[in-house]
Amino acid sequence: MQAPPQRTDRHRVRRHPERAAYDRERLYAVLDAAFLAHVAFVVDGQPFAIPMLHARDGERVLLHGSVSSRLLAALAGGAPCCLAVTVLDGLVLARSQFAHSVNYRSAVVFGRAVEVTDPDDKARCLWRLTDRIVPGRAADSRPADDGELAGTRVLAVSIEDASVKVRSGGPRDHEADLALPHWTGVVPLALSHGIPQPAPGSESIPLPAYLAPSTDP
């Protein structure tokens, strides 16, 4: 069993600690449920936060971008970074404006990015990133060639310290508001694929099975 990420003062959940978790199982579940990570770091005293697609690869989080990016070069140089992901599950509508909230799953990871330079590992990481966004797509597309690999920077962020925070359930109305005649409840939210739209030249190619509409109820 994997040891949980360390719980340190730099990221111990203080606000609503009952919603916090620090074990890897729940951390990985949130990372795997999210597509977009906001990666924060400091360069020459200036804070930056960049939204980036990500994929978890075991105990590391994969990122990628252009080799010409000055900010990615700073990350690749070992600058400490903080990576945050959030999945919104619902809008929580209470009787009072103060008690409105959202249901969510979030994770914050502290670590340092290391550039992946081994060509085979780099190609595998890009395959993993592709397949994470659309499962089955990596095998149904051309892998990066040598020129594309050379023009792409792949980073792996080790998980040094992390926490998860989750809010679920309905509104927490104040007892004095329970008799108010306002609708209250949860409006579920979910990210889902729409109807695939073929690009010119692909109209005659059958839709891949991995893009077919889900038959789940």
12-24 tens-digit pLDDT: 655 656 556 668 8
| φ/ψ of residue 211, rounded to 5 | -105, 0
Residue 10 has pLDDT above 60, yes or no: no
Number of domains in the chain: 1
Look up the domain containing 136 and give its range.
9-169
Residue 61 has pLDDT above 80, yes or no: yes
Q: Is residue 30 domain-resident?
A: yes
Beta carbons within 10 angstroms of residue 24's beta carbon: 18
pLDDT for the residue 120: 93
Q: Is residue 201 domain-resident?
A: no
H-state helical runs in the chain = 24-33, 70-76, 119-133, 146-150
Kindly report the CATH number assigned to the domain that includes residue 21. 2.30.110.10
Site of tokens 């792996």: 156
Pairwise CA distance, residues 37 & 40, whole Å: 10
Q: Is residue 190 domain-resident?
A: no
Q: Is residue 187 domain-resident?
A: no
Residue 5 has pLDDT above 70, yes or no: no
Q: Is residue 143 domain-resident?
A: yes
Residue-wise pLDDT tens digits, 114-156: 999 999 999 999 999 999 999 999 999 999 999 999 999 999 9
Pairwise CA distance, residues 182 & 195, whole Å: 36
Residue-wise pLDDT tens digits, 92-122: 999 999 999 999 999 999 999 999 999 999 9
Q: How large is the average pLDDT for residues 158-171?
A: 92
Residue-wise pLDDT tens digits, 200-217: 999 999 999 999 876 544
Residue 1 has pLDDT above 50, yes or no: no
Q: Is residue 91 domain-resident?
A: yes
Q: Is residue 217 domain-resident?
A: no
Pairwise CA distance, residues 56 & 63, whole Å: 9
pLDDT for the residue 90: 97
Chain mean pLDDT for the chain:
89
User: SS3 of 29, please?
Assistant: helix
Higher-scoring residue by pLDDT: 5, 91: 91
Q: Is residue 186 domain-resident?
A: no
Residue-wise pLDDT tens digits, 180-192: 999 999 999 998 8
Closest CA to 129 of 106, 155, 111: 155
Which of 74-94 are b and which e, b meaning 16 or more Cβ less than 10 Å from the residue's Cβ?
bbbeeeebbbebbbebbebbb
